[in-house]
Each structure stands twice: as structure tokens, then as C-alpha cells.
Structure 1
Amino acid sequence: MSNSHHHHHHRDVYEQGVPYTSMPSPTPSAYPGFLPPPPGAEGAQRSHSPSHPYLHPGDMRTSPPYQQISSSRPTSPSGVGSRGVSLYAGASQAASASDPQDASASPSRTGGILSKLIKRDPLNPPPPSFSRAADPRFPYPAFQPIWLHGLHKKHLEACFSLIPPTSFVNPHPFATHDVGEVDWVRFLEDIQIAGALTGQQRLISNIAPISMHVGATGFLITKAIEGRMKRKKEQPVTELIEIWNDHFFRPRRMYVILFKGSEPLMGPPNQTLAPPGFDAPLRRTRSGSSSSSSSSSSSSSSDGRKGKSKAERKAHKQMKKGQKEQRRADKKAKRAQEKADRSASKREKKKEKSLKDTYSLAVCAL
């Protein structure tokens, strides 16, 4: 399929399934916002499910709302993931359009991406998203948690592709909660920067500039962070996510949690949320262990009788033989079941081991 046909196809999907328009703004750093879908649009969009209002990162630059971003920035919100150019590092122009489009930050390019991103402090000045109040025209409905899974065995500076979480609901929760694509890409870029920081480069030292920009609530962040952080290794990232929660996501009736495997690294201690793929613990069955207990008590009463007929003795002998064969079959079935249980348990442990070091982001409704 040619590139032109590919882009034309995505433009058709965009126009049919995502009836959003860009909200005008007088500022040069305008963020694209989405108006609530018109009445009846939700039913018309269900035929496209599963989907979300964001196109594949390689085609975002052809989407109408993102052509209206200030020309001082690259027009592709996926600039970091696909071309190694940061939207927020003062880059004046994206790389040539002939560069291959890639949905994720490949390991070979991660270093180059970070070298550009790391020059930017994620919190000083604070992200423009923090100063954009939640739009009251959006419906902000409840939704089931949506997930963005990181790449296996990758640390936080390289594991998350610059794409929105997958949702099987139309419209995507971001489209009904005033989360623009530029907001989400900036958030993931900031996670990359924070994930590359060493222990001495704590983000907590940058909270004061935020307090000056967003008011007294900034001083409450430290207390929230102290009660929720569990690990020092991921602490700069969990601190950053908590700041984004307080100043951007919670006003939009949602919040983000970082997971490592099935373990939440932040949030309330009693939560039961777990990423998809982490099933309930395997329940071992005990079939065949009680089936032979009732068959051995019926033959003892006549053992002591004298003068049994030949036919009775033969029948008794056959019954004993049948009971013995039944016990042997029960033991064999039990061993087979235990072997199957061990095999299933081993597979489950292997699966969990492969997932336990993988990071995920959960976006939940408030």
C-alpha cells in the first residue's frame, strides 16, 4: 500500500470516527482541545471500536487539529518517538519527512532522544498543560482503567512509546476529559527525562518553581509524595506523575498510576488494580482423592463366615480385584492431575517472571 493511500485511509478514519475540532487560542503555544462529540455521534462511532481518537503516530502530522499548532514547533506530536526531535526542547524544525515513521522510541535511538530531552527541565518552567484549566464543556464520564504497557525489560527512560493508552471505548476517555494529544506526549516525554535522572537529580528540588506558578497547592505536593512513594529507583518518575496528577489529571477527573509488574509503585496501599495478564493465583484442584474411600468398607462383614460357596468366593475375589484396580486407577489419575497442576503453576510463574519487571501506566477515573 502506498504512503499516499495509507495517509488517505487514516484521514478517512479520522473524519468519520473522530468528530473533534481544534479550539482556537490567541497564544502562540496553543494546545489542540476537543469539543464534546455531537448528539448521536457515539452510536455512529461504535462500528470503529476498538479505537481511540488518536491516529497512529506516523500519521498524526496529517491530522487537521495538529496542523494548527504554532509553526515554531514541529507539527508532529510524535516528533520524539518517530524522529528524535523534542517538541519542548526548542527545536525549530522537524527532520525531513522522508524519515521512517516509528511508533516507539527504538533502543538504538534512545540515547539521541534523551540527549535532546535532558536539556529541558520537565518542571521548570512548569508544563503549559498545568496552566490550562479543565474545560467545563466536556462531560468527564466514568470509565474503566486504560493501560499503556512499557517495553519488556526497558527502564523508564525508554520503555513507553509516545502513544495514548489503548481503549475499547469510543470516544476515547481522553477525548471526553479534555486531555489533548500534546498534553499526553509532553507527560510521556517528562517520564523519559525523569527516568534518566540519577539519585542526586531529584525532581523534588523543582517543586518550588511550580508552587510559584500554580499557587499554594504546590506546597502540599511534598506531603502527598512522602506518603505514596515506595521505591527510590522509580521515585523521580513517581514524583513527577504525582505532580501531573495534582495539577492536570485530577482536575479532569482521572489519575495515573505507575506499575512494575503487578505491583503499584504509588497510590493507595489497599488498591486491587492489576495490569491485564496478571490473573488470579492458580487454584489447585484435588480431583480423584476421595472417590475410592467408600468402596472398601462393604466387603468386611462376610470375611469371617465359614462354608461360603465356590461362587461366593469367586465373586468376592473378583470384587477385591476390581477394588484394587480402581485404587490403582485413582492414584494414576491423581498423579496426572498433580503433574498438570505443577506444569500449569510453572507456566504461570514463568509468565509472571517475564512480566514482573515490565512497567505499565494505568489511567483511572476519579
Structure 2
Amino acid sequence: MSQNVYEPPPGSPPPSLVDLPPPYTPNATRGAATEPPIWEPNFIDLTSQFDGAPDTHRKPLDPPPDCFSTPSPLRVKAHDFPPFRIPSISDKLAGGFRILYPSHLLEKHGISQPDWIRFLEDIGIAARLAIEGLSAVGSRTPVTSLPARGIFSSRVMGVAYDSHFTRSPKDEVQALLGVWNQSAFERRKLRVTLQTIGEGGTRSGYELLVESL
């Protein structure tokens, strides 16, 4: 039984050169074009309404924020949005974070705009207080000073707070995040964590990762 065998036209290149795909060459733009864009919610940017310098005259948890005591919504959806990030204003935690409020996401979880502004402001205040040797979370055991003698006795008598406070601004911010998560966010199916921006030990700033649980 005869078989029909394909014969290339005269002058054609060998079949091995026709059938093989072209050699692969790396293309930097090829991968970037196919990667999906980074998702980001529609923020209400209120950063310009604040000077960026935390007000250390107000204590973050004194009095407690309103959302610590207000009830959660009756029905809160889980995993209803992808994680998003709030960047720091500078590479220092004391500089605070940008005041970005994604109203269409957080309102459904019972976090109002004043609640969120208070939270972001408290983070910067806590870091600023830590630099000054003060704590917004814990480490507030009063130490009674001994009465001093002399002309300055009436000025130095009293109670000193945080005389042995050694927590870093990062540790203090993480401690404050723990209070907010336990008291306000987690029962509303939210969680906020602090992350460092940078690779290889080179820090270029911080960001708050907001997740729907």
C-alpha cells in the first residue's frame, strides 16, 4: 500500500527549519503587559486636611474610640474585598500614615470615617510618644516620687509615668494595632497589620495591610 509523502517545493528550506518555533528571547515588557494591575479601592483622600504631625497632646486610648463600644452590623460579609494598603507618609512611623478612607468598603463593616481617621491618627501619635519615652498602650504603672527637699520640693513632688518605658515606635504601634483589632476590627471581620516596605534589610517606609476576614 502506497503512502502519500509530502515533498516540499524545490528551493524550500529544510523542514527542520520550518517546523521549529523561533528562538525565545527575554522581553521585559512582555511580562509586565500580561500581569494584572494592582487592585486598589476608591479612596477618599483626606491627607491634605491634616498637617501630618501627630498631636501628642491627645492620648490614643484616652478616652477609648467610639467604635470600641458601638455594636457591629448585624450582617457583615466575610472576604468581601481583596487586601489593600495604606502607606506611611515618610520612612518614620512618627510621621503617620496617609488619611485614606475607602468608604464603600469600611462602612459595610461598621467603621465610619471618623473612626478610621481616629485610628490612623492614633498610630502616628503612639509612635511619636514612644520616641519621647511614653506609652499609649500598657507600661503605665505610676511611680511615686520621693519628696524633694529644698526650694524645688513643691514642683517635683507627684507621680511619674512610664519611667522605665523602652518599647520602640514599631513595637508600640503593633501593640496599639492589637488593641484596635481586638476591640473594633476583628468582630467586624477586619484585621490591620503593620508591614515594612523594602527588601534586603533596606527599609523605605511602612504600610498598613487591611484585610477582610
How would you bin the TM-score normalised by the shorter chain? Answer: 0.5 to 0.7
- Counterpart selection for 1:239 from 162, 165, 175: 175
What is the Cα deviation at residue 252 of structure 1?
0.7
* Structure 1 residue runs without a partner (length 5+): 1-48, 58-77, 85-104, 166-170, 209-230, 263-277, 279-348
- Counterpart selection for 1:205 from 125, 128, 138: 138
| Whole-angstrom CA distance in 1 between matches of 2:65 and 2:139 | 12
- Which letter does structure 1 place at the counterpart of 2:77? P
* Equivalent pair of 2:87/2:208 in contact (CA under 8 Å): yes
1:151 to 2:72 alignment: no
- Counterpart selection for 1:259 from 192, 195, 203: 195
Aligned pair in 2 of structure 1 residues 123, 56: CA closer, same or farther (>3 Å)?
A: closer
1:357 to 2:209 alignment: no
* Structure 2 residue runs without a partner (length 5+): 1-38, 142-166
| Whole-angstrom CA distance in 1 between matches of 2:125 and 2:176 | 10
* Equivalent pair of 1:160/1:188 in contact (CA under 8 Å): yes
Q: How does 1:258-277 map onto structure 2 within 5 Å? A: 258-261=194-197
More strand by share: 2
Aligned length: 149
| Whole-angstrom CA distance in 2 between matches of 1:135 and 1:175 | 10
| Whole-angstrom CA distance in 2 between matches of 1:177 and 1:357 | 31
1:186 to 2:118 alignment: yes
TM-score (normalised: structure 2): 0.59
Aligned match of 1:55: 44
- Which letter does structure 2 place at the counterpart of 1:259? Q
* Equivalent pair of 1:148/1:360 in contact (CA under 8 Å): yes
TM-score (normalised: structure 1): 0.36
CA offsets 1:285-318 (integer angstroms, 9 cap, x no match) = xxxxxxxxxxxxxxxxxxxxxxxxxxxxxxxxxx
Aligned match of 2:69: 131
- Which letter does structure 2 place at the counterpart of 1:198? A
What is the Cα deviation at residue 158 of structure 1?
1.2
| Whole-angstrom CA distance in 2 between matches of 1:360 and 1:122 | 19
Aligned match of 1:176: 108
CA offsets 1:92-143 (integer angstroms, 9 cap, x no match) = xxxxxxxxxxxxx3xxxx3xxx3xx211111122111211121114434443
* Equivalent pair of 1:203/1:239 in contact (CA under 8 Å): no
| Whole-angstrom CA distance in 2 between matches of 1:180 and 1:187 | 11
Aligned pair in 2 of structure 1 residues 201, 56: CA closer, same or farther (>3 Å)?
A: closer
Secondary structure at 1:186's aligned position in 2? Answer: helix
Aligned match of 1:82: 49
- Counterpart selection for 1:248 from 176, 184, 191: 184
- Which letter does structure 2 place at the counterpart of 1:125? P
C-alpha root-mean-square deviation of aligned residues, in Å?
A: 3.0
Aligned pair in 2 of structure 1 residues 359, 83: CA closer, same or farther (>3 Å)?
A: closer
- Which letter does structure 2 place at the counterpart of 1:242? G
Aligned pair in 2 of structure 1 residues 247, 141: CA closer, same or farther (>3 Å)?
A: same
Aligned match of 2:57: 119
* Equivalent pair of 1:140/1:252 in contact (CA under 8 Å): no
Aligned pair in 2 of structure 1 residues 258, 252: CA closer, same or farther (>3 Å)?
A: same
What is the Cα deviation at residue 245 of structure 1?
0.4
* Equivalent pair of 1:159/1:359 in contact (CA under 8 Å): no
* Equivalent pair of 2:191/2:211 in contact (CA under 8 Å): yes
CA offsets 1:49-87 (integer angstroms, 9 cap, x no match) = 9643x5343xxxxxxxxxxxxxxxxxxxx6xx5254xxx
Which stretches of structure 1, 4 residues or longer, exceed 6 Å deviation after superposition?
none
